[in-house]
Amino acid sequence: MTSSRDLAALAALLADETRASFLLALLDGRAWTAGELARHARVAPSTTSEHLGKLVAGGLLTEERQGRHRYVRLSDDRVAHLVEELAGYTAPGNGPAPRTLRAAGAANAMARGRTCYDHLAGRLGIAVTEAMTARGLLRQDTSFALTPQGVGWFGALGLALQPRGRRPLVRSCLDWTERKPHLAGVAGAALCRHALDSGWCVRIGSERAVKVTADGERAFAELLGIEPEILR
């Protein structure tokens, strides 16, 4: 069983604004260099190295070195789920308001649609999750579960869902902008990957934001009955 000391140690790792900034940035699922994270958090390289060492030692990040570069990424989807869940419990509006039109636009784009590690989030993720539930593809009455029709729906898209390790086939992830659950797990990752590979969504900007294309609007309308206006 987890001891109180272990839980306190984990909480201490997260209770630092710089380390929290790193973890939120790494929710895009990519590997970042220490230099990129330093610039993102606006801290010195020496400070970055110290914080990354603590996160790696605590099991939240994994690292690899290629030549002079040190790359880090979230250890697995469970860490991403933990960070997104915690972000969902923060009070809305606590952060500083965007000071420029560019910053406001970036914030709006993130709220409209983004990736959370490897699945869809924001209004896009919520719209997909609610449409799947309304069509009987997904159940939310007890916990998230695909119905037989849902499994068949993924199969019709050519997506064979194979659970990997301890990762569940589906699970809910609390969306930090919408305050509602969106689809995560193996199924959520497969759908996100398919949406990007098929050109239904494209990444925009330097953050995790994604935009639904015209092809995507048609696909989501045909497959799930989502009105295009909801995705814009």
CB 84 within 8 A of CB 27: yes
CB 29 within 8 A of CB 117: yes
pLDDT tens digit at each of 232 positions of the chain:
668 998 999 999 999 999 999 999 898 888 999 999 999 999 999 999 999 999 999 999 999 888 888 899 999 888 988 888 888 777 555 555 556 656 556 678 888 999 988 999 999 999 999 999 999 999 998 889 999 999 999 999 999 898 777 788 999 988 888 889 999 999 999 999 999 999 999 998 766 899 999 999 999 999 999 999 999 8
Class of residue 153 by CB neighbours under 10 A (exposed 0-12, middle 13-18, buried 19+)? buried
Residue type at 205 in one-letter notation = G
Residue closest to 176 by CA, chosen among 222, 114, 227: 114
* Topology annotation, domain 4-75: Arc Repressor Mutant, subunit A (1.10.10)
Residue closest to 79 by CA, chosen among 5, 6, 173: 173
Q: Give CA–CA dist 74/32, Å, rounded.
A: 10
Rounded to whole angstroms, what are the CA distances from 191 to 30, 99, 153, 194, 207? 18, 35, 11, 5, 20
Q: How many CB atoms lie within 10 A of CB 45?
A: 12
* For the chain, domain boundaries: 4-75, 95-231
Query: Six-digit token pair at 179?
Result: 């305050």
